[in-house]
């Protein structure tokens, strides 16, 4: 799998010169990247590196201060509704209504995400089944365990079969078995066997072996700048472990990395 630059089809995500400033503080600075359809990209970085800010700009939750974001060809600023329709988003804490049942909630999300009425019941059932929620579909979300809530959050993100899935720390707080299940599901969504067009996934995490388990490509952000954007295979080719790369980069504070220049398209 290449870094996605030479792909001819519309990139699932195309980001140019993305910046986010809060007053004098620059949370994200000059990000450039593309994600091809079906690609699973891990967004790495220490806490407060700008991962969540970047994801919020991709999903249209906050507008960028500068730069451009295209989701499946829709600009988040000039065609916000088109861009948002093409994204499924699982924020850091799943956005759930605790008083609703799982099915009612997923069905509500399907209706605000423009799933046509005729297909809605099927789409809801499919999302529930794929996230392993069939047994609890009539239960009230507030009574579910954390692992199940996380799955409901994931069901909500995939119910409209979006081109792009943005997952902010999807496995945080889950037990090892649940983590494995969620990872399996993410991998399945992007796989060619998955019927309705492959979904691109961009997920943030600071669990390094998560990236090694499911991502084809690694982007590392540090102090709001992209310091690495490489296929995983290349990065670990020299027998180097991801953890070493990560530690190496985060230890050199502030200095712009030499990798930066190479990696930017």
Partner 1 sequence: MRHVAAIAGREFRSFFVSPVAFVVLTLWSVLAGTFFLSTLFDFQQRVLLAQQFQQVDQLAQMNLNDSLVSPFLGAMWFVMLFLLPAVTMGLFANDKANGTDELLLTSPLTVWEIVFGKFAAAAGFALVMVAIAAFYPGLLFYFGEPDVGKTLAGLLGLMLVSFAYVAVGAFASSLTQNQLIAFIVGLVLILVMGVMLPFLVDIAFSGAGVPAADAIGGLMRWVATGYHFEHLISGEIDTADLAYFVVAIGVFLTLSKAVVESSRWR
Token pair recorded at residue 203: 């997920």
Min CB(111)–partner 1 separation in Å: 4
Range in contact with partner 1 (rule: CB under 8 A) among 26-34, 89-97, 178-186, 209-217: 89-97
Binding residue for partner 1, selected from 99, 122, 175, 262, defined by CB under 8 A: 99
156 touches partner 1 (CB under 8 A): yes
Binding residue for partner 1, selected from 30, 46, 95, 132, defined by CB under 8 A: 95
The vertex-18 CA angle with 72 and 66, nearest 5°, equals 110
How many residues make contact with partner 1 (CB under 8 A)?
Answer: 27
198 touches partner 1 (CB under 8 A): no
- For the chain, the farthest-separated pair of C-alpha atoms sits apart, in whole angstroms, at 55
Residues 143, 74: contact at Cβ < 8 Å? no
19 CB contacts (<8 Å, ≥6 apart)? Answer: 26, 28, 29, 30, 31, 64, 65, 66, 67
264 touches partner 1 (CB under 8 A): no
137 touches partner 1 (CB under 8 A): no
Cβ-based nearer residue to partner 1, 61 or 264 = 61
Min CB(47)–partner 1 separation in Å: 19
Binding residue for partner 1, selected from 43, 85, 154, 164, defined by CB under 8 A: 85
Site for partner 1, residues 52 to 81, rule: CB under 8 A:
59-63, 81
Cβ-based nearer residue to partner 1, 66 or 243 = 66
> Rounded to an integer, what distance in angstroms lies between the CA atom of residue 265 and that of residue 250?
22
Q: Would you give the DSSP letter of residue 140? A: B
112 touches partner 1 (CB under 8 A): yes
Strands (E), 8-93: 13-22, 25-35, 40-44, 66-71, 74-75, 87-90
Quickly tell me which residue has 């990395």 as its tokens: 257
Binding residue for partner 1, selected from 3, 28, 49, 96, defined by CB under 8 A: 96
Burial of residue 260 (number of CB atoms within 10 Å: 0-12, 13-18, 19+): middle
Instruction: Please give the residue ranges that form the binding site for partner 1 (CB under 8 A).
Output: 59-63, 81-82, 84-85, 87, 89, 91, 93-100, 108-109, 111-114, 156
């Amino acid at each position: 799998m290449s870094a996605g630059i030479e792909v001819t089809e519309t990139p699932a995500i195309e980001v140019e010169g993305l910046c986010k400033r809060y007053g004098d503080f620059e949370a994200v600075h000059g990000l450039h990247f593309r994600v091809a359809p079906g690609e699973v990209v891990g967004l790495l970085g220490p806490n407060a590196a700008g991962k969540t800010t970047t994801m919020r700009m991709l999903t249209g939750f906050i507008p960028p201060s500068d730069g451009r974001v295209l989701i499946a060809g829709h600009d988040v600023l000039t065609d916000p509704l088109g861009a948002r329709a093409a994204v499924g988003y699982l924020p850091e804490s799943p956005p759930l209504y605790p008083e609703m049942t799982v099915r009612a909630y997923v069905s509500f999300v399907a209706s605000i995400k423009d799933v046509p009425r005729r297909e809605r019941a099927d789409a809801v059932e499919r999302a529930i089944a794929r996230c392993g929620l069939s047994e609890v579909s009539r239960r009230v979300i507030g009574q579910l365990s954390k692992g199940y809530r996380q799955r409901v959050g994931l069901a909500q993100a995939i119910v409209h079969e979006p081109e792009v899935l943005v997952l902010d720390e999807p496995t945080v707080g889950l037990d090892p078995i649940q983590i494995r299940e969620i990872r399996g599901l993410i991998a399945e969504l992007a796989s060619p066997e998955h019927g309705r067009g492959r979904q691109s996934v961009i997920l943030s995490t600071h669990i390094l072996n998560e990236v090694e388990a499911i991502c084809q490509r690694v982007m590392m952000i540090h102090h709001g700048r992209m310091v690495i954007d490489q296929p995983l295979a290349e990065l670990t080719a020299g027998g180097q472990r991801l953890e070493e790369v990560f530690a190496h980069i985060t230890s050199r504070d502030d200095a712009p990395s030499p990798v930066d220049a190479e990696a930017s398209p």
